[in-house]
Amino acid sequence: MIRAALILLPVLSLAAQAPSRPPAPTEETTIQRFRAHAKPRNVAPRAPLNAEERNTIRRFKEAKPSVVYVSAIAAGRSPGTPDVTKIPIGTATGFVWDEWGHIVTNHHLITVEEGGKRRGDVDEVEITLADGKTYKGRVIGYSFAFDIAVLQAFAPLEAMRPIPIGSSRDLQVGQSVMAIGNPFGLDHSLSKGVISALGREIGTNYSTRITNAIQTDAAVNPGNSGGPLLDSGGRLVGMNTAIVATKGEGSVGVGFSIPVDTLNKFVPLLIARGFLVPERMGFETLNAAVALQTFGIQRGLVVSEVSADSPASRAGIRPLQLDEKGEIKILGDILIAYQGNLIENNGQLMAMLELEPPGDEAVFDVLRDGQIIKVVLNLKPGKAQPASL
């Protein structure tokens, strides 16, 4: 009988069979290892700029020297002292109109307001050109009805680069436009879009409507006002003026521009005359905000002065009279309406006179001694001249 011998062989463990592994690297080890590979990336080749990009770049470079930064400055007094100081009240955009240093911008940018009421225009402006040099400027003409102001820049004439003028009557919805301005103080910012609509109406601060305004989706923000809207040829087709904002004052792609045809009609008149009002009425009125704050007059315009031998004096308009203490002695007349339209403030009256110049006569509703009466000012034809009311 054969017996099988049982031979026990040693069992090798898996640990003995597998090769040993180094411990896993720590996070710090990984970071230090990869730091050694730090070097600039290779620049990927880029295709040439397309024709549209090249045109945009070219037009911006051409227009930039014509766009200026406008700082409005009002006079004020330092607290606790009688010293008069200069107070910046806002910044915006303008553009060079001609080679004689005339700058065009929006009128509302140079207006001083207090408590929501207009007190007047700024005392002076500072105009910064594209090269960074700043010069003094003065307001020499403005229109309430069309929200246009003309400034004289006291800069070297050789530094004036007039912007090319286009036309707005042949614009089409969908064509490309560019806006250049100083939104939020960021000078010479470019935005681009299309004409979204034509023939819009936009309101002014003086209860008037600007017709044939251009609507664009090129980003327009606070500070863009007064800046140029250009077509793809780099020509001025509008002046950026207003935005629609749902919250705050940010752009939502709905901006409006005064058409260049309106500018080309009225800017030369403002340069030549200073005002659009054709007739001298012969009276002056208190600023509505001053009348409210000083005398509590909440309605209409208080007549403060009447010129001798003027339409106002011949019509019997009565001015305000004060005593030695500055208190009301005789209130005089308060202008309530012009040609049947209620008067809310000085600027609105000026705007109405611009839009509806009087012919041979001007009819006012006047509050006198507690009663409203009609007073007719007879205006001599052929005596038209620019003058304040």
Given a contact cutoff of 8 angstroms between Cβ atoms, the answer to whether 149 and 124 are in contact is no
Given a contact cutoff of 8 angstroms between Cβ atoms, the answer to whether 224 and 103 are in contact is no
Among the listed residues 301, 297, 292, the one whose alpha carbon sits nearest the alpha carbon of residue 337 = 301
- The gap from C-alpha 387 to its chain's centroid, in whole angstroms, comes to 26
Catalytic residue among 71, 143, 196, 225: 225
- The gap from C-alpha 187 to its chain's centroid, in whole angstroms, comes to 14
In this structure, what is the dihedral angle of CA atoms 290, 295, 296, 298, given to the nearest 10 degrees? Answer: -60
Rounded (5°) CA angle 109-113-114: 160
Given a contact cutoff of 8 angstroms between Cβ atoms, the answer to whether 199 and 212 are in contact is yes
Look up 225 and say whether it is catalytic. Answer: yes
Q: How far is residue 260's CA from residue 274's CA, in Å, rounded to a whole number?
A: 19
SS3 112: strand
Q: How far is residue 360's CA from residue 278's CA, in Å, rounded to a whole number?
A: 12
Catalytic residue among 147, 187, 261, 365: 147
Look up 191 and say whether it is catalytic. Answer: no
Q: DSSP strand E in 129-208: where?
A: 134-143, 148-153, 176-181, 189-203
Q: How many of the other CB atoms lie within 10 Å of CB of 54?
A: 11
Residue at token pair 């030369």: 268
Catalytic residue among 102, 108, 231, 365: 108
- Which positions are annotated as active-site residues? 108, 147, 225
